[in-house]
A and B are shown apart, each in its own frame.
Chain A
Amino acid sequence: MTANLQLTGHRDQLFNETVRQKLDSWISKYPPGQAQSAVIPALHILQDAHQGWLSEGLMRALAEYLDIPAISVFEVATFYTMFELNPVGQHKISVCTNISCQLCGSEEIASYLQKKLGIGFGQTTADGKFTLKEVECLGACVGAPMLLLDRDYHEHLTPEKIDTLLGGVK
């Protein structure tokens, strides 16, 4: 996790090679001197590479890498809901309960999931497998009710679909 980070101040020593390459490719998409623009994509990359959440050490290292104040990274990480500042389960389930989904039964879907997993919104199952979140409209309202499991949308949900879906998760 973050223990392998040595904050020696040398850019090359921050992050592993693969992560560095990805970060550099993002930085190159912005004009010279605008590396801060890469903060959001960079936080996504780091979160993906570190069990789905961002430790303070990671964020500090990123600030150093981009040569911007640490507070600029913290501000962004705390503003956007996709960033996790505490450990999460192996898989993240985000259920939309906004209006179009609500009209199509997202409340039932939400309570079915809560019962099935034995946790409430914002919690992680005891085995560390799933974190369940309630989210705002995910832009898939014609498929209501829907959820996001890791990187994939699942639409027109029914309890049966959820059983199949969760049953298939390793």
Chain B
Amino acid sequence: MMQQNQVCFRTMHLDQPWSMEAYRSVGGYEVLEKILHEKTRQESIIETIKNSALRGRGGAGFPTGLKWSFMPRRMPGDKYIVCNSDEGEPGTCKDRDILRYNPHQLIEGMIIAGYTIGAQRGYNYIRGEFFEPIERFEQALTEAREAGYLGKNILGSGFNFELHTHPGAGAYICGEETALLESLEGKKGQPRYKPPFPAGYGLYGRPTTINNTETLASVPVILQHGADWFHELGTPNNGGQKIFCMTGHVNKPGNYEVPLGMPFAELLELAGGVRHGHKLKAVIPGGSSTPVVPADVMMQTAMSYDGIGKAGSMLGAGSVIVMDETTCMVKALERIAYFYYEESCGQCTPCREGTGWLYRVIKRIENGEGRQEDLDRLVDVANNINGNTICALGDAAAAPVISFIKHFREEFQYHIDHQRCLVAEPELKLNYG
């Protein structure tokens, strides 16, 4: 029997899983105490994280140990660890549950990360609408402070570390790491040019490491049970369990923390299968900016970075958007295109103009006013955005357009030819399932 909830959700079965007491009962803060007591070498922690094959859970899947190794950790002066709890990618809602149900594990992970990269200060950037999660996290911070895990000379080790929450205020782009830093500095969230990368020039121009909530919350468990244990939870090069947000047309939508590499078919079954006994049509496996995958390919896909990559898409943030046979792909793409148009920060011309153009053309196809040349033009415009922008929002806007048209071209063509939908009865009734 496969065990779920081994990493970030490991307190989930407990009463008040967010409390210090619950967290201690699974061994919480023991790793931190040991590190501070034994003055564990930073290099050895980085080695363990590298060997665990933990990859960034925020979207790009970058190896976390490698990212940490880029920090000039012995350089004097301020350095920062920043947690990305902006969680704005459509389809993603896992960090909210980590903040609500296991905030102490994130705090422990951030303190350990700070110790490892030589940072004495950390910020958790949490999206502004997360009033309840912010409150939970703040309360956990108070408990951690009272227990002596934050502040000066922690547990007599000589290590100082301060940790604070920073709220956002509604802007998807602030999830992009350099826009997040700008926002944390009290500015508009407009991405910076890279290089320089945050490890060299980050918050207030100082070396900074930015990781996703789920990434940082995985750290204490890895150090507690060892790199091999974690790695073996998943598959080679794709260590650990991962939270998948199962949304859309499934009977039991929810967050499922399961081994990386689990077949999609099994995950779908965990989520109760497709609603109303309908047939699966397509899946967006990693959040709205990852390419859509047709049902038959998806049913053969393993849920890992490499597995989903082979299927022509990306694991992204693990945000699995399930669409059944009643879904109109034109309408779905129209909504996604609107999102990127709405959220483009406007700095680069290809993104600012391109996202507006994509949205307007898809909208006119959806409204039965499409022209024959529209599909090729859409793909052209999307290709012109791709790779020509400051940040990856441009690519994120292009990928859905290219993949939807690639796999469901006949549906778009039908809209253009017949001014209506190929999906017989576009059923958008409430999912009471």
- Contact residues of A with B, CB < 8 Å? 29, 31, 34, 36-41, 43-44, 68, 72, 75-76, 79-83, 94, 97-100, 102-105, 107-109, 135-145, 148, 151-153, 158
Contact = CB atoms under 8 A, between A and B. Distances in A.
Nearest to B135: A151
Contacts of B343: 136
Nearest to B327: A103
Contact of A44 (B128, B246, B247, B253): B128
Given A99-B91, A103-B323, A136-B343, A39 B129 contact: no
Contacts of B164: 29
B319 A141 contact: yes
B432 interface: yes
B88 interface: yes
B128 A82 contact: yes
A103 B92 contact: no
Contact of B171 (A79, A107, A137, A153): A79
A39 to B, nearest CB: 4
A44 B131 CA distance: 11
Given A31-B121, A145-B430, A137 B90 contact: yes
B167 interface: yes
Contacts of A143: 93, 253
Most chain A beta-carbon neighbours within 10 Å: one of B78, B88, B254, B335: B335
A83 B92 CA distance: 23
B166 A41 contact: yes
A152 B131 contact: yes
Given A31-B78, A100-B248, A108-B429, A142 B183 contact: no
A159 B221 CA distance: 43
Given A80-B171, A144-B248, A151-B131, 19 more contacts: A29-B164, A31-B78, A36-B185, A40-B166, A40-B183, A41-B166, A81-B171, A100-B91, A102-B428, A103-B248, A103-B327, A104-B248, A139-B88, A139-B127, A141-B245, A142-B253, A143-B93, A144-B247, A145-B430
Contacts of A136: 88, 90, 172, 339, 342-343
B297 interface: no
A151 B78 CA distance: 35
A141 B319 CA distance: 9
A100 B321 contact: yes
Interface stretch (B32-40, B153-161, B186-194): B186-194
Nearest to B174: A80
Nearest to A78: B188
B49 to A, nearest CB: 26
Contact of A105 (B87, B95, B342, B430): B430
Contact of B430 (A41, A108, A140, A152): A108
Given A108-B430, A142-B93, A148-B129, A34 B185 contact: yes
Contact of A81 (B89, B170, B247, B327): B170
Nearest to B204: A34
Interface of B: 78, 87-93, 95-96, 121, 127-132, 164, 166-172, 183-189, 204, 245-249, 253-255, 284, 288, 319, 321-323, 327, 331-332, 335-336, 339, 342-343, 428-432
A130 to B, nearest CB: 18
23 contacts: A34-B204, A36-B187, A37-B184, A39-B186, A44-B167, A44-B169, A80-B171, A83-B170, A98-B335, A99-B336, A103-B431, A104-B248, A105-B430, A107-B428, A136-B172, A139-B87, A139-B92, A140-B93, A141-B93, A141-B247, A141-B253, A141-B319, A142-B93
Contacts of A139: 87-88, 92-93, 95-96, 127, 129-130
A63 B132 CA distance: 28
Nearest to A80: B169
Contact of B431 (A94, A99, A104): A104
Contacts of B335: 97-99, 102
Given A34-B185, A34-B204, A152 B166 contact: no
Given A37-B166, A80-B171, A98 B90 contact: yes
B186 A76 contact: yes
Nearest to B86: A139
Given A99-B335, A142-B246, A137 B92 contact: yes
Contact of A76 (B90, B188, B288): B188
Most chain B beta-carbon neighbours within 10 Å: one of A38, A100, A137, A144: A100
